[in-house]
Chains A and B, each alone.
Chain A
Amino acid sequence: MDNNLIIQAIITGPLLLSIFCFLWPRLAKWLALLVAMASLAGAALVFFRAATLASGLLLAGAFFTLLVTVYSFDYMKERGRQGEYYGYLLLTLGAFSSVVFAADFLMLLFAWGIMGVALYLLVGLGGPKASSAATKTLLLVGGSDALMIIGIGLVVVLTRSFQIGSVPLPTDDPLAIMAFICLAAGAFAKAGVMPLHGWIPDSAEVAPLPVMAYLPAALDKLAGIYLLFRLCTDVFSISLNSLLSNSLLAIGSFTIVAAVFAAMIQHDLKKLLSFHAVSQVGYMVVGIGTGMPLGIAGGLFHMFNHTLYKSCLFFSAGAVESKTGETDLDKLGGLARSMPWTFLATAMAALAISGVPPFNGFFSKWLIYQGLIELAPLNPYWIIFLLAAMFGSALTLASFVKVIHAVFLGQGDKTTVSVKEVSFLMLWPMLTLAGLCLLFGLVPLPLNSFIYSLTGKVDFVGGWQPLVAIIFILASLVIGWLLYLVGQVAKSQIKPVFIGGELISDEETKVSGINFYAEVRRWGWLETIFGWGEKRYFDLSNWAGQLTGLLADKLSRLQNGLLRSYLFWLAGGVVIIFFVLMK
């Protein structure tokens, strides 16, 4: 079979077979598993014949569908509406594949919209409490689709073709810039770039966690950033250090820093992770925004890496939630002993997202930093973006120290400590992803197999030799361990604590971790900004809602129920039209 045929099958197969999931809810999960495995096999075949970015995305899409399906076997077991759930998963896979291989804008927009609708319905599966988050999700994601139509219209007017990227449009006239903004808005909303990110934290709280791992963490990121990449390289040509490229860099940097600050002060594991999902997109936007081959390669690589560790983190949050029934950091603790494998996977993914070598997150961030440094002679603001990116990375690490402490290492109470490890069905996806995080850090497979062929082989300013680094890291670990043995730490003793002759219970001495960065909140101007954030000042959908209400109130005064005012409007309208027609 030739590749086109397989791709067609991966697009239409899941879309058509999803119908059967709705019809036979009992068999839905097996059908989904079968389709996901078949798609993965097909995608692998396509990929090994021709390793391109598109086929890599296809492979990733099928891979995540399989992982999420397997994970959901256990996670969704107790929840109803299985037919719908697996049906929407398959719809998403078909639509995603179609987005990746869309040759013209109409097909792209159609599939793009179906992904949005499926997302809306998947978030809605969280039950009645998820209904408002689902609404917001579709308003942001679907609303930006409508904006994309204008962008497509402008591109069609300028290039006289619906083809994506027939000839790159120079972004020097206002129409082309407007077209870029409209189309980029769609990409931004899907990927969750500020200020169109509002749906991710909201739906994280209520949607089933595999849904978060599947869409906002994986497929939506892939689709959004892939579109942004194509916009910046195929559809438009953006000159370096232009207003547009600087705006991209600024939006990306702002997203990195603002979202990571928001993440630091969260008390809820799911919400914390969701803000990191927003923050990490910033890196991809910055990477692509540099316009340098190195930065773009880093941005794309980061996109793949992000899906790995972020899905893994959402999966592990789901594991924690399904065993303890809790995602509040204050109430968790001490799970490292009872859920060791989950802990291992979470720790690896946390190190990866924080950009600690030798994990993949470090590699891609390193590339992005290099891209920014290469930009130095061309763009005077490069240092701001570089600092923002590095600062964000440090804060991410800080934030995950809090997570690891609060969930796994810190003191827990009896109910949380006595839980058992999750089943293999849930562990397997997590460990696979954690393993890939390490593998891609050591051997950057996506870079070598298809990203470099897009951007051209790039030269590093600073060297990064995974093996050498590993040796250093191992050495430092060994030294640390020796110090531990030799020093006083190992000789420490656990003694009961007395205050005023009274024995204090463990509960009262607990350091829960949620207050790790409580101090950050109180830093002068930061406090004001956090206050603004909590009042939803940074959330575009909130502003739009307020404005709509205001305008609707004003306009509704016209409809006052009085026949005479209606007649007045009628007569006035006719007279005005008369004068217009007389001209």
Chain B
Amino acid sequence: MNLSLPILIVAPLVGVLLFFVLPRRWPAVIGGLALLIVGACLATEITLYAFRLYNNIIVYNFGLALILDGLSHLMLVVIDGVAFFITLYSLAYFSKYSENKRFFILFFLMLAGLHGLVLVSDLLRFYLFLEVSALAAYALVAYGSGKKELEATFKYFILGELASIMILLAIAIIHATIGSTSMSEVARGYASLAPLTKAIIGCLLLGGIGTKTALFPFHWWLPDAHTAAPAPVSAMLSGVIIKILGIYALARILFNCLGASNQLLLVLGILGGLSILYGGFLANRQNDMKRLMSYSSISQIGYIVLGLSLASPLGIMGGLFHLFNHALMKPLLFLVSGAVEYQTGTRNLTELGGLRQKMPVTSLGALAGSLAISGMPPFNGFWSKLFIIIACVQAGHLWLALAAVIGSLLTMAAFLKVMQLAFFSSLKDSLARLTEAPLTMTLAMAGLALLTLLGGLFFPIIIEKLINPAAITVLNGIGYSQMITGGRL
């Protein structure tokens, strides 16, 4: 009856096939087609919402039980919203690599994996789709195929696969003890497991998902991988991959399947706080614009996890809202770094200066992104940080609230440094002939910048339409299983 969900998974795969067939001399055709497919996916998701169809649709097709609830819907919008702007940006960006065919093949493979990941209702299939998108991500990081890129990819691959194996092992133990990998079955059966089994499953999942999320003691792959990847890929990694493979998995498995225990929440909260501080401090030390942004991603992901770990309505809402906001501002910032590198050939802050005069749109994008991520009004980051910190105080975690505030200051210091050194300081002689980035790149940046501003001004609408349905799903905990009673899988 409802084919829209399977189509969401199939459409990117059709794209992959088409790009294979099309000759690499037609980058404009490939790019245009890519934009069309992503736009269609995004339009479908918005239509699904507009007709209130998203409310827990369950579709059984091709042997898959696909479920679209509030949380999945938020994730789909994040994936395709970010992917749309990245595709737009990539139209011009990949001209420097002489072809965009391979990029779009891998990118759409990743999209297919991500779409599947947020829709399936079975842990094993969850794992499969997770691997599809992770593999595409490894290949994309290695896109430049230079020494640094390959080294970063190698580390990312080893750590990422280790994490996948831990997740798989946890799923295997779940299967062995509960007898099913269907999320609803797991949710019903998990509570009766022995404490030792629970602890083993919990620590494996936390380690595995923590690595995918890049939480503090598991984050090591992230700075290298994000720095080495081409800017649109970094934007996708930071804006989408760590959120879907990480936060979505965290929310879906730990909250909805395992019914997060207090110890688990405590661990998550502490890891979140540590990530906030660690990422914040290290970001301040970087002179490479992209590496600075990568460390800041660790810090920001810490906020999201911290919000979720409070397990209070305000905390979860704040965490998910921050996820949504970060998915707008961090890709924006990575795209800015890409535009700067595209035009100047360097990302080193000490070699840049005065770009405001030569690249006004890029500079405005950087300003919007920096203020948003620093949590300054009227940008969207202000509200989500506010909610998270107030939720922390309400939960009595004053130390975590203080960590969040210090992290906010550190983030601000890091990004104001970028603004000062790269954009507002005096123009370097070597940059005198600089021009603004190509049109599609500036369009993508301007679009995202506008969204960070509108998100801050009209936040009640976003919270009501997108965030709250998702927060209700997470808050529902293992009650989620009620929704899919009678699931065949």
Q: What is the interface of chain A, defined by CB distance below 8 A to chain B?
A: 106, 109-111, 113-114, 116-117, 124, 128-132, 134-135, 138-139, 142-143, 145-147, 149-150, 152-154, 156-157, 178, 544-545, 548-549, 551-553, 555-556, 559, 561, 563, 566-567, 569-570, 572-575, 577-578, 580-583
Contacts and interface: CB of A to CB of B under 8 A. Distances in A.
B378 A131 contact: no
Interface of B: 155, 158-159, 162, 166, 195-196, 198-200, 202-204, 206-207, 210-211, 217-218, 220-221, 223-224, 261, 263-264, 266-267, 278, 281-282, 284-285, 353-354, 371, 374-378, 382, 385-386, 389-390, 392-394, 398, 401-402, 405, 408-410, 412-413, 416-417, 419-420, 424-427
Nearest to A175: B398
A149 B385 contact: yes
| A132, A153, A581 interface centre (most CB from chain B within 10 Å) | A581
14 contacts: A111-B377, A116-B376, A131-B419, A135-B420, A138-B416, A146-B385, A150-B393, A153-B389, A545-B413, A548-B410, A569-B218, A570-B218, A574-B203, A578-B200
Interface of chain B: mostly helix, strand, loop or mixed? helix
Contact of B285 (A110, A146, A556, A567): A556
Which 4 pairs show the lowest CB-CB distances between chains A and B?
A153-B393, A128-B426, A131-B424, A574-B207
A134 B282 contact: no
A581 B202 contact: yes
Nearest to A545: B413
Given A110-B378, A131-B424, A150-B402, A570 B207 contact: yes
Given A143-B409, A555-B281, A573-B218, A567 B377 contact: no
A145 B354 CA distance: 28
B394 A157 contact: yes
Contacts of A114: 377-378
Given A113-B376, A559-B223, 16 more contacts: A117-B376, A128-B427, A131-B419, A138-B412, A145-B376, A154-B393, A548-B281, A551-B281, A563-B155, A566-B220, A569-B220, A570-B211, A573-B217, A578-B200, A581-B263, A581-B267
B386 A109 contact: yes
B190 to A, nearest CB: 13
Contacts of B217: 569-570, 572-573
B204 A574 contact: yes
A544 B218 CA distance: 28
A398 to B, nearest CB: 37
A153 B413 contact: no
Nearest to A144: B409
Nearest to B196: A582
Contacts of B195: 582
B103 to A, nearest CB: 27
Contact of A113 (B382, B416, B426): B382
Interface of chain A: mostly helix, strand, loop or mixed? helix
Given A113-B376, A117-B371, A134-B420, A577 B202 contact: yes
Nearest to A140: B409
A178 B196 CA distance: 41
Given A157-B394, A548-B410, A139 B218 contact: no
B382 A563 contact: no
Contacts, number: 165
A433 to B, nearest CB: 31
A139 B204 contact: no
A573 B274 CA distance: 13
Nearest to B388: A149
B11 to A, nearest CB: 36
A510 B311 CA distance: 73
Contacts of A157: 393-394
B279 to A, nearest CB: 10
A443 to B, nearest CB: 39
B409 A152 contact: no
Given A110-B382, A128-B424, A580-B263, A573 B376 contact: no
A550 to B, nearest CB: 10
